[in-house]
């Protein structure tokens, strides 16, 4: 039965977005509207609208006369996304430290110190989710909804390479230590020190990504080579 409810666009959007950010749809793969609509038991119209929303998110591209495609990855594009992430997060971090109420700050510190203590035992998907949530909560506590939305969009587009970055045991350990130093600076309400720590943390991640992304792309397409 074909779905006709008003939320079919959201259903299609959520399904496609999840498949794109987890690379069930490979970068550069064509997205067939008819096949997607049939799989989701809906007409093509909400699928097309969902695909257009995903273009705005930067996860899908459209080629006239050819159709919709999963957005291709490149080392330079990922570096650009990390640069934008740096700008968003440092601005949010400063504002959060300067304006967050004491009770909210105490709750934030307690929550993420506790998470840090158990992070070594986390499965990789949980670790990636926790890493995203940590950085996103800083932006949320800064109180700018547009910054949060922009950072969420960046997170969607770098999730796979973020996962690759944290697969390395040494990088995993280093990232936890860097988060710990960031929490210390936040607890001291020292925005200058906190920004230095955050810049170093993101620079290390960016460099690891630069070194690993070619191998990651090879893994994505391994099935095509086999």
pTM for the structure as a whole: 0.71
pLDDT of residue 171: 83
Question: What residue ranges define each of the domains in the chain, with the CATH number in brackets?
Answer: 8-70 (1.10.10.10), 75-220 (1.20.120.530)
* Radius of gyration, alpha carbons of the chain: 19
Query: What is the full per-residue pLDDT of the chain (226 aa) written as tens digits?
Result: 455 455 899 999 999 988 887 778 888 899 999 999 999 999 999 999 999 999 877 789 999 999 999 877 777 888 899 999 999 999 999 999 999 999 999 999 999 999 999 988 888 888 888 999 999 999 999 999 999 999 998 988 887 777 777 877 888 888 899 999 999 999 999 999 999 999 999 998 888 877 776 665 666 666 554 4
Residue 46 half-sphere exposure toward CB, CA atoms < 13 A: 23
DSSP bridge partners of 62: 68
With tokens 């929303």, the residue in question is 53
Q: How far is CA 138 from CA 34, 109, 158, in A?
A: 41, 11, 18
């Amino acid at each position: 039965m074909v779905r006709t409810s008003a939320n079919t666009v959201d259903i299609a959007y959520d399904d496609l977005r999840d498949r794109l950010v987890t690379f069930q749809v490979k970068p550069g793969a064509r997205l067939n509207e008819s096949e997607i609509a049939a799989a989701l038991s809906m007409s093509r119209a909400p699928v097309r609208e969902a695909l257009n929303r995903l273009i705005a998110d930067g996860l899908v591209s459209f080629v006239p006369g050819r159709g919709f495609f999963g957005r291709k990855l490149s080392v330079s594009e990922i570096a650009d996304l990390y640069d934008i992430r740096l700008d968003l997060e440092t601005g949010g971090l400063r504002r959060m430290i300067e304006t967050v109420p004491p009770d909210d700050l105490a709750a934030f510190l307690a929550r993420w110190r506790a998470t840090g203590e158990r992070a070594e035992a986390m499965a990789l998907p949980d670790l990636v989710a926790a890493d995203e949530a940590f950085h996103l909560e800083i932006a949320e506590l800064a109180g700018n909804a547009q910054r949060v939305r922009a950072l969420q969009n960046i997170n969607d587009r770098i999730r796979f390479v973020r996962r690759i970055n944290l697969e390395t045991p040494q990088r995993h350990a280093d990232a936890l230590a860097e988060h710990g130093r960031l929490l210390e600076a936040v607890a001291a309400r020292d925005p200058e020190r906190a920004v230095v720590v955050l810049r170093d943390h993101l620079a290390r991640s960016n460099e690891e990504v630069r070194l690993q992304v070619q191998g990651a792309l090879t893994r994505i397409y391994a099935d095509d080579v086999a």
